[in-house]
A and B are shown apart, each in its own frame.
Chain A
Amino acid sequence: EVQLVESGGGLVQPGGSLRLSCAASGFTFSNYVMSWVRQAPGKGLEWVSSISGSGDIKYYADSVKGRFTISRDNSKNTLYLQMTSLSAEDTAVFYCAKFTLTTLSFDSWGQGTLVTVSS
């Protein structure tokens, strides 16, 4: 069974930094593109970033480019999102999602971790 468990969320001040983690199990982690998708309170889903299975190809939404860095450690089956220069607009639940290239869809999701940016 695929499991994705996010951690690292919390309250951070504007301008601050935070690193999210997503521990994966139940599938061959290094074979899959992984992504972060966020959802601001009461709002819709927003794709944030994706990383290839080997970690050499990365994509970012314009809203986070230059501030967020996606990475992965395939030896630990873990996905990361380093977030810097955070603002109130980054307040959201961040979901880790497994992206399957055969279906080009996010077929498994974690439970999410809440990031709140506030003074």
Chain B
Amino acid sequence: DIQMTQSPSSLSASVGDRVTITCRASQSIRSYLNWYQQKPGKAPKLLIYAASSLQSGVPSRFSGSGSGTDFTLTISSLQPEDFATYYCQQSFSTPPYTFGQGTKLDIK
């Protein structure tokens, strides 16, 4: 099975900061990489699909890049509502569709 590893596991930042979260796959997954945001007690929300495509309704301060095994999620200017946990997830080939372990972003 394909393993997904995110870094860092946690991150403290301030409103207005630029933040980057990294996700690495154990083998090439081409661009079959998605990013989700989850707030406490809520369901995950799709932010980015196919590594770099912004889901409808998601603010443009979120962006994704990468292909193969290395991917990044960037938030260009953190807003108060962005403090949450972020997960990457691969959809290469058939299931299992594995998730990264998550990156918790909190306020510095």
Contact = CB atoms under 8 A, between A and B. Distances in A.
A binds B: yes
B34 A104 contact: yes
A56 interface: no
A109 B87 CA distance: 14
Interface residues of B, number: 26
B34 A105 contact: yes
Contact of B99 (A46, A104, A109): A46
A104 B49 contact: yes
Contacts of B49: 103-105, 107
Interface in A35-80: 35, 37, 44-47, 50, 59, 61-62
Interface string A9-30: 0000000000000000000000
A44 B44 CA distance: 11
B76 to A, nearest CB: 22
A47 B99 contact: yes
Contacts, number: 63
B39 interface: no
A106 interface: yes
Interface in B17-71: 32, 34, 36, 38, 42-46, 49-50, 53, 55
Interface string B68-108: 00000000000000000001010100111111111000000
Contacts of A50: 95, 97
A45 to B, nearest CB: 4
Given A44-B101, A109-B44, 20 more contacts: A37-B44, A44-B99, A44-B100, A45-B44, A45-B102, A46-B99, A47-B96, A50-B95, A50-B97, A59-B95, A62-B96, A103-B53, A104-B49, A105-B50, A105-B55, A106-B36, A107-B55, A109-B43, A109-B45, A110-B43
Interface of A: 35, 37, 44-47, 50, 59, 61-62, 95, 103-107, 109-112
Interface of B: 1, 32, 34, 36, 38, 42-46, 49-50, 53, 55, 87, 89, 91, 94-102
5 contacts: A37-B44, A104-B49, A104-B50, A111-B43, A112-B43
